[in-house]
Structure 1
């Protein structure tokens, strides 16, 4: 089965068009204001119109309140809720409230960090393994830093999962081979500057991922 792909933090029609043209399965819209990739509700409404139904729209949130979720779901016509720094209990409540597929991002630095995956059984539909950032990091993700992919070798995943953290056009094929990821997610790896996506890098990433 082809590996699914998510291009995250898209902010312009041109970059969304490039992602769709080159075959992405998921487009990520960031609703975390401190991020340089964040968009407003009005911007989301303007961006999602041309997205075809077979491309899933993922809203990215950091421990969001109910009001933010409701407004973002409406504005972005979201199919998926992606949660960072959100407890399994809160994720379960969001999943029930929003009636959307729910992803939980888990920060990984050592093998012990993988133990937290089991706590999301029944709370989320999908796990996204990302690089664990320091407590004082400005953002929970999108920092372009990868973790040791070999930590996933032989790990029995409790549910469907994907890989994020430092993925680029140059290393995504290796990442898929090493981990067996079902989905690969990139943001800063296809940028020319923080928050500025590069259409050529988007195309190269999706081409590299599609080779496997």
Structure 2
């Protein structure tokens, strides 16, 4: 089975077309105003209209309230919620049940973190997957750095690899981790929030090579 791939931090219609044409399985929109890749619900509404059937849309939220998420979903009805802040398993489960969306949790791999038990705590309340990202003391994702892939666990829940992925390391990343899916943002950009068609194509080619058995 080919490793799935999400292109995150999309801000332009042409970048949706580039990602879809290159074979991306999911498109990510960032609803976190401090991020240079953030979009408003109005912008996301327009962008979502250009995502074809069979390509999923994901909304990234950082410590957002139920009210905030509900307001965004009224205009930008993404398929899946990505909780990328300090949300507890219970908060993720409660919000997702209120808004009727599947969800997954992003976890920053801190040196002292009990990764397996943390993953299981979200799995036990209904996470569709768990994303493992590089830890940074200030940034919530988008660090451009990778963590030690040899520590990537093997569990009975889909695990998504993120952090420092780019065209020249994605094949090795997949072969090392055997991740269910990969998530890239800065690694396929010419500037923050501006994707590069050629880099997206090279990244997806690397995904194909990494997935080949």
Where on the TM-score scale, by shorter chain, does this alignment land: which range?
A: over 0.9
- Alignment partner, residue 121 of structure 1: 123
- 1:158-177 aligned at under 5 Å gives the runs 158-177=156-175
Q: Distance in 1 between matches of 2:187 and 2:16?
A: 16
Q: Distance in 1 between matches of 2:23 and 2:46?
A: 21
- Alignment partner, residue 49 of structure 1: 49
- Alignment partner, residue 6 of structure 1: 6
Larger CA deviation: 110-119 vs 50-59: 110-119
Considering only aligned residues, what root-mean-square deviation do their CA atoms show, in Å? Answer: 1.4
Give the drift of 1:109.
3.3
Q: In the alignment, is the contact (CA less than 8 A) between 2:10 and 2:37 conserved in 1?
A: yes
Q: Distance in 2 between matches of 1:200 and 1:72?
A: 31
Q: Distance in 2 between matches of 1:40 and 1:205?
A: 27
Query: Does residue 206 in structure 1 map to residue 204 in structure 2?
Result: yes
- 1:132-151 aligned at under 5 Å gives the runs 132-134=135-137, 137=138, 139-151=139-151
Q: Distance in 2 between matches of 1:91 and 1:189?
A: 28
Give the drift of 1:179.
0.3
Aligned residue among 153, 157, 173 for 2:155: 157
Larger CA deviation: 155-164 vs 44-53: 155-164
**Number of positions where the alignment pairs a residue of Structure 1 with one of Structure 2:** 207
TM-score calculated relative to the size of structure 1: 0.93
Question: SS at 1:119's partner residue?
Answer: helix
- Alignment partner, residue 22 of structure 2: 22
Give the drift of 1:111.
6.8
- Alignment partner, residue 189 of structure 1: 187
- Alignment partner, residue 91 of structure 1: 92
